[in-house]
Amino acid sequence: MQEILGTLYPWLKAGHLIFVIFWMAGLFMLPRFFVYHQETAPGSAEEAAWVERERRLLRIILAPSIAVVWILGLALAFTVDAWSQGWFHGKLALVLVLSAYHGWMAGYARKLAAGDRRLEGRRLRLLNEVPGIAAALIVVLVVVRPF
């Protein structure tokens, strides 16, 4: 099995990077959608449009992307025996944080769709920084491999 994965390594890596880009794009877009959504009048047609946009972003881009990122990422980890490398543990921890963030954002989308506007725009704008910071740290861990 590992021999087959080794042969496919460049393709696994390319696919992983492509879907990471899709996933990150969605994670950057969703909190911004929430800000715009919360600025609309409750019950308006504009609010309904934002609910639909958020639903589509989650269903069409974010859900498939996170699944493919995890599948290809785990395949890559097995291919290079990353489990024994310190940088990978850091990367894995950050990907788990991003996955939890993704789940939280999906939950908040459901709350917004139900009319529950718990967070203010400023807090959502700050939350929008989470994926960028995590991505920067992950890139450093993967490229520099400081430990």
16 assigned to a ligand binding site:
yes
Provide the token pair at 131: 């994926």
- 19 CB burial (10 A radius; 0-12, 13-18, 19+): buried
Mean pLDDT per 10-residue section of the chain, whose length is 147 residues: 81 97 98 95 97 98 98 94 96 98 98 95 93 97 96
**Other beta carbons within 10 Å of 22:** 16
Q: Is 91 annotated as a binding residue?
A: yes
Whole-prediction pTM: 0.93
Domain assignments of the chain as residue spans, ordered by start: 2-144
Give me the pLDDT at residue 6, please: 72
Two tokens, residue 28: 């950057």
pLDDT at 117: 95
